[in-house]
């Protein structure tokens, strides 16, 4: 027990992905990179509490991420989902696919 402790590996950590306020196609390369990195961890948290604008491309990216995470057995939890994200997901029929949590009263 006198050796150095190993640093935690990426697969042992929980990664939190913070979605930007303007979550539209122009910002997706950065979001995609974060989501791809999260796929190599033990669990991921998605924070969309700041999202004010979201487009179909962003919702499609999140749907693909959820599908890939499920296929890898990756635990994914929402730690925040704005009304804008919820409304757009509901409009496109993706709320169930994204596994959005129930809205909490203000």
Tell whether 12 is covered by a domain: no
Q: Is the pTM of this model over 0.75?
A: yes
CATH number at residue 41: 3.30.750.24
pLDDT 10s digit of each residue in the chain, 106 long? 333 433 333 445 899 999 999 999 998 999 999 999 999 999 999 999 999 999 999 999 999 999 999 999 999 999 999 999 999 999 999 999 999 987 766 5
Listed residue (7, 58, 9) closest to 35, CA to CA = 58
What value, to the nearest 5°, has the Cα angle with vertex 62 and ends 58 and 65? 140
- Give the structural domain span for 37: 18-98
* Total of domains in the chain: 1
Looking at residue 2, what is its pLDDT?
A: 38
Residue 2 domain-assigned (yes or no)? no
pLDDT of residue 106: 57
Does 6 fall in a domain? Answer: no
Q: Are 39 and 72 in contact (CB under 8 A)?
A: yes
């Amino acid at each position: 027990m006198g050796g150095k402790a190993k640093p935690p590996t990426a697969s042992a950590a929980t990664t939190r992905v913070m979605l930007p306020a303007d979550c539209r196609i122009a910002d997706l390369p950065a979001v995609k990179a974060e989501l791809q990195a999260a796929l190599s961890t033990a669990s991921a948290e998605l924070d969309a509490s700041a999202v004010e604008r979201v487009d179909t491309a962003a919702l499609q990216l999140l749907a693909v991420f959820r599908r890939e995470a499920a296929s890898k057995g990756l635990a994914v939890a929402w730690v925040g989902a704005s009304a804008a994200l919820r409304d757009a997901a509901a409009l496109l029929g993706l709320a169930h696919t994204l596994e959005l949590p129930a809205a909490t009263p203000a």
